[in-house]
Structure 1
Amino acid sequence: MHSACPALDDRIARLRQLAQADARLEGVLLYGSWTLGEADAHSDIEAYLYIQEDHLADFNGPAFLAQLAPLKLAYTNMYGILAVVFDDLMRGEFHLTAAGPGIDEVPTWQGMVHLPHPDDAILLDRTGRLTHAARQLAEFRPPQPVPTAQQLSDELANWTLMLAHVLARGETARAHALLHSVIAPQQLQLCRLLRDSTAHWLTPSRALEQDLPAADRDRYTATTATARQHDVRTAACNSWRWSRNLAAEAADRWTINLPHELHEQISSLLNETR
């Protein structure tokens, strides 16, 4: 597989060579935009390094990755993933994982990870176990509409009620964070579900400009704001109106249950904060 970024292709090819030469590694599995055929000059390199259990404790991840290119930064991030920045400013995320349990876990990613070309995503597989596991992720399984729409509609009501309380307390910065980091991704997922556009389900803002109609993009834009009190309050009201519209559309399409009285009460609380 080749991408629109020759530098990334070269780095992946180099990673394949290094992994094959390092007997401590049992397998290497790529994930992310390269495996979806969507990588470009701004893409990261993301992979699982499956290390033999007796070598995991002494495997020096930064030293291994520095053989790809000089590192400007290497640290374990908040999710326990080795994050690096190469000298050309390409980012990388690498899971250093025990081969036995790590490879066994791969099939459980169904519905969360899609590898349309699993054999291309595998840079090393000494035993065949990783290939067998990764091939189970080749078929994309879109979310089930009815339970997913119900879940998202309930989430939006719950989190927007919290947003209304936070605004009433006068915590503008916290409300701003809730609006953009918690509520907006779930709105976009519900919108994608309704538009039958779930290819970027796990990162619903990805390729939004190409995936969703202009009317939805405008509604999303109206939910964004600077962290100023008036702007956040206006965006919160716009956000809740869009959430209610999406939930109502989902209810008409899939007959999900909506707590209408609660929705009205949330609207009243938000209006009081304006």
Structure 2
Amino acid sequence: MSHLSSPSTPPSPSSACSASPALDRRVARLRELAAAEPRLTGVLLYGSWTVGEADAHSDIEAYLYVEDDALAGFDGRAFVERLAPLRLAYTNLYGVLAVVFDDLMRGEFHVVAAGPGIAEIDSWRGMVHLPRPEAAMLLDRDGRLTEAAGGLAAFQPPEPVETAQQLADELANWTLMLAHVLARGETGRAHALLHTVVAPFQLQLCRLLRGSTAHWLTPSRAMEADLPAADLARYRATTAAARLPEVRAAARQSWRWSRELAAEAAARWGTGFAPELHADIAALLAGQEPTG
């Protein structure tokens, strides 16, 4: 599916079902278990299932809103294990219950107190989109979740000017660090910086300029469908195996693309542009002495 014809608007599911029968069954089972658990006041799904993009490789992701005074005694793992047998369950670095079911489906479950948890939903505007909140809500005992999630029905693309400035500045800063790391000869660290730090900012700025912000939080998602072929080719030129000459070449290609994206943003939105700094970073990446 290509979103280039309407790039700023994410796909909207035509029904509550996905292209993954296994995930649909697990969602239905979660709805059933939640209704039977009196300590739960609400359950809200998020992720690909809620926007009609789920497939056989998709996860199940949900917020479990527990009565405030019952949270301490609520065993999230035991509840989730009733969905299906677990092969792995642990609390990840973000405090989220992460699981792997017996069929290798992944799951993420935020087990939170209902009061502050539901109140927090308003802060998700512009980051989380629920085109059909009623399909994402598996349980709402008192109406609070319905009211809060309703505010996420309208898609809100990022504000372009401040966002473009932030991303352009991030790209300059992190690419300068990349240049210093490469000069030190730290191939592995440079490779990681290029692919895990610089590339996401680059893809976000590219998406902002192309009006394709539906997958903003994970800018590499569906990029083959969302972005023009020319941008995909530029991105591919920024990738490399973890060998020093190849990482150096990819870093130079990456910075060339970043500079062009930043210049395009400056021309369109009047964002700040620092040609002298940009030239000095390019010189460092080329192994030359900067002029500044």
TM-score (norm: length of structure 1): 0.98
1:193 maps to a residue whose letter is: L
Q: Distance in 1 between matches of 2:238 and 2:72?
A: 46
Q: Distance in 1 between matches of 2:206 and 2:126?
A: 18
Q: Distance in 2 between matches of 1:117 and 1:231?
A: 46
Q: Distance in 1 between matches of 2:229 and 2:260?
A: 16
Q: CA deviation at 1:170?
A: 1.4
Number of the residue aligned with 1:46: 61
Number of the residue aligned with 2:246: 231
Q: Distance in 2 between matches of 1:259 and 1:204?
A: 25
Number of the residue aligned with 1:106: 121
Q: Distance in 2 between matches of 1:100 and 1:247?
A: 42
Aligned with residue 131 of structure 2, among 86, 107, 116: 116
Q: Distance in 2 between matches of 1:43 and 1:4?
A: 10
Q: Percent identity?
A: 72
Deviations 1:129-159 (A, max 9, x none): 0000000011111011111111111110011
Number of the residue aligned with 1:2: 17
Q: CA deviation at 1:123?
A: 0.5
Q: 2:68 aligned with 1:78, yes or no?
A: no
Deviations 1:206-241 (A, max 9, x none): 000001111100100011111111111111101000
Matched ranges for 1:246-257 at <5 A: 246-257=261-272
Q: SS of 2:151's equivalent? A: helix
Q: SS of 1:127's equivalent? A: coil
Deviations 1:90-117 (A, max 9, x none): 0000001011100010111001111110
2:88 maps to a residue whose letter is: L
Q: SS of 1:272's equivalent? A: coil
Number of the residue aligned with 1:19: 34
Q: Distance in 2 between matches of 1:57 and 1:192?
A: 42
Deviations 1:13-61 (A, max 9, x none): 0000000100011110000000011000000000000011222112111
Q: Distance in 2 between matches of 1:149 and 1:55?
A: 44
Number of the residue aligned with 1:87: 102
1:96 maps to a residue whose letter is: V
Q: 2:186 aligned with 1:187, yes or no?
A: no
**C-alpha RMSD of the superposition:** 0.8
TM-score (norm: length of structure 2): 0.92
Q: Which runs of 5+ in 1 are unaligned?
A: none
Q: Distance in 2 between matches of 1:265 and 1:121?
A: 49
1:45 maps to a residue whose letter is: I
Number of the residue aligned with 1:266: 281
Aligned with residue 160 of structure 2, among 133, 136, 145: 145
Aligned residues: 273
